[in-house]
Amino acid sequence: MIILSALTLQPANLNLPQAAFNLSAILPQIILVAAALLLLMVDLVLKNKRALGWLSLLAILAALAATVYQWLRTQTSALNVQTSAFNFQSSAADASGAGADALGIIAAGLILIAAALAVLLALESTAEAGPASFTSQPGPYYALILLASAGMIAMAQGVDFLVIFLGLEIFSLALYILTGFARREARSAEASLKYFLLGAFASGFFLYGIALIYAATGSTNLVQISQGLAPLSVALPFAPLLPLGVGLLLVGYGFKVALVPFHQWTPDVYQGAPTSVTAFMSVATKTAAFASLIRVLANLTSHDRPWLLVLAVLSVLTMTLGNLAALRQASLKRMLAYSSIAHAGYLLVALAAGTAQGAKAALYYLLVYTFMNLGAFAVLLAVQRRDENDVTLDRITGLSSRQPGMAVLMAILMFALTGIPPLAGFFGKLYVFGAAVQANLAWLAIVAVLNSAIAAYYYLRVTVNMFMPASMPAAQPAEAVEARKPGWPVWATVVITAGATLVLGIWQFPWMQAIQQAINSLGTLALR
């Protein structure tokens, strides 16, 4: 009844001009969706199925070019800026509710980079037989990658809850199917079903949160809601429903980024899904969800500091449980799954600061995490056997003697995830922890540092096992001889990701300058 009565409400204290619909704001999504439909049609007549992968890669690069075009436009356009604690907004959003502002553009770029590298890994898989092969249905596979990317970009750039929810459901449905694409693997089907059931449940929380926020404010547009909340003296008709709605939204976001206690699906889904799919979802989903979460928190909670304490508590629980659970994993995919949970906790440390420095740290961390984690999964694809979809710790023992180049690159990625200088992972954590200290959250930074020390054990354990002498009893498991030699797509992915962790760490200026420009274009977050 409350929600129905809110249908007649008008947003409080609003006098906003209606923006004209601008197709350039959603140009990357248009390219991706059109390419996905084209791939499905071409798949019916094309005999060389491997060419479908190249067509999908071309579409992703075209969407990336459109994203660069959007970024160049933001550098020459004047954006409305509002200054407050953890509050920013842009006039770049059009009437569709999809905004091509700087935050959304950076997120879209990271998502497209992850998609391009995932397609390269899939090109490797299509050349193999086994449960991770997609040779039977390559067209639907690549089309789903493109549709998932389009949905993620829509979620990251959405400035209206309806657009955000639409993007969430588009990429979620695609990932449900992709998770179970290895149909001959029982674990993959189980992971898909579990992901679908828990994901649908979380989507219900998210949608109900949107309904409560609409009941409280009379709008689903983030900019309108923020401007309606700006005068603290304004009394909304159903104001108590607003914090409840935000809380339900956090449940939905928490599921997507694997925050504790909404993380239970992550290890099983990461282990059961094809490795190329796991690599893609582990980084792209986080980018889309965290970019959207930053925007929502900035507009809905700028005057409600207690929410920052909630984020701090969630970050402690997430990184602690993730790291402790990763310590006892023999499966490297499950280890990286729990590691992914822990990294979500580190990102939440930056958001808990509620400052401009925290926002910049979160964006930089998402950038470096994209390359670090995707590269680690690429190495797993390189060393796994043809007839299986996972790699155990014993399997990589003595890898330096069999594939020395791959072992060196994997070591770089493990060092980056650990946070060892001068790699990008070190600076990512440094900026995150520094933002917490500057926001008077030194205790949270200390907890994060302790968790990083715990994580160092299982990351370095992988490195030690890879360089274990071949003469040692455990160094050459019997099944190691059955491991296939990685093709050039995997090598290219690993080299690109490992190289990026070096470049982003040693040469930071252009990347941090771009992130600074993004935050400036969105608004100034006042430090406490």
| 77-99 tens-digit pLDDT | 533 333 333 333 333 444 444 55
Number of independent structural domains in the chain: 1
Report the alpha-carbon angle 251-255-256, nearest 5.
120
Residue 269 lies in a domain: yes
Residue 354 has pLDDT above 90, yes or no: no
**C-alpha dihedral, 128 to 282 to 167 to 30, nearest 10°:** -50
Residue 485 lies in a domain: yes
Residue 8 has pLDDT above 60, yes or no: no
Residue 215 has pLDDT above 60, yes or no: yes
The answer, yes or no, to whether the previous bond of 261 is cis (omega within 30 of 0) is yes
pLDDT at position 470 is 54
Residue 357 has pLDDT above 70, yes or no: yes
For the stretch 441-496, pLDDT in tens is 899 999 999 999 999 999 999 998 888 765 444 444 444 444 557 778 888 899 99
CA quadruple 281, 286, 291, 295: dihedral positive or negative? positive
Residue 412 lies in a domain: yes
Residue 369 lies in a domain: yes
Is residue 332 a contact partner of residue 392, using CB atoms and an 8 Å limit? yes
Residue 263 has pLDDT above 50, yes or no: yes
CA 354, CA 333: separation in Å to the nearest integer?
A: 33
Residue 426 has pLDDT above 60, yes or no: yes
For the stretch 321-348, pLDDT in tens is 999 999 988 889 999 999 999 999 999 9
CA 464, CA 56: separation in Å to the nearest integer?
A: 38
> How confident is residue 245, by pLDDT bands cut at 50, 70 and 90?
confident
Three-state SS at 130: coil
Residue 258 has pLDDT above 80, yes or no: yes
Report the alpha-carbon angle 46-52-55, nearest 5.
120
Residue 143 lies in a domain: yes
For the stretch 490-523, pLDDT in tens is 888 999 999 999 988 888 777 777 777 666 655 4
CA 207, CA 219: separation in Å to the nearest integer?
A: 14
SS percent in the chain: helix, strand, coil, step 5: 70, 0, 25
pLDDT at position 520 is 63
Is residue 296 a contact partner of residue 209, using CB atoms and an 8 Å limit? no
For the stretch 367-406, pLDDT in tens is 999 999 999 999 988 887 666 677 888 888 888 888 888 8
Three-state SS at 158: strand
Residue 131 lies in a domain: yes
Is residue 265 a contact partner of residue 254, using CB atoms and an 8 Å limit? no
Residue 76 lies in a domain: yes
For the stretch 12-68, pLDDT in tens is 444 444 444 567 778 899 999 999 999 988 888 877 777 888 899 999 999 999 998
pLDDT at position 159 is 84
Residues in a beta bridge with 93: 99
Q: Tell me which residue of 125, 147, 149 sits closest to 137, measured CA to CA.
A: 125
pLDDT at position 93 is 44
**C-alpha dihedral, 111 to 113 to 119 to 124, nearest 10°:** -130
Lowest average pLDDT, out of 3-12, 321-330, 427-436, goes to: 3-12
- For the record, the structure tokens of 84 come out as 């407050």
- State the residue range of the domain holding 201: 25-522
CA 361, CA 280: separation in Å to the nearest integer?
A: 22
pLDDT at position 458 is 92
Residue 439 has pLDDT above 70, yes or no: yes
b/e sequence 394-409, b meaning 16+ C-beta within 10 Å: ebbbbbbbbbeebbeb
Q: Tell me which residue of 232, 106, 245, 243 sits closest to 165, measured CA to CA.
A: 245
Residue 62 lies in a domain: yes
Write the CA distances from 415 to 144, 424, 455, 470, 501, integer angstroms. 33, 10, 11, 22, 10
Higher pLDDT, 170 or 124: 170
Higher pLDDT, 208 or 77: 208
DSSP letter, residue 8: G
- For the record, the structure tokens of 358 come out as 């925290």
Is residue 519 a contact partner of residue 525, using CB atoms and an 8 Å limit? yes
CA 148, CA 23: separation in Å to the nearest integer?
A: 20
Q: At what angle do helices 488-506 and 102-125 cross, to 10 degrees?
A: 150
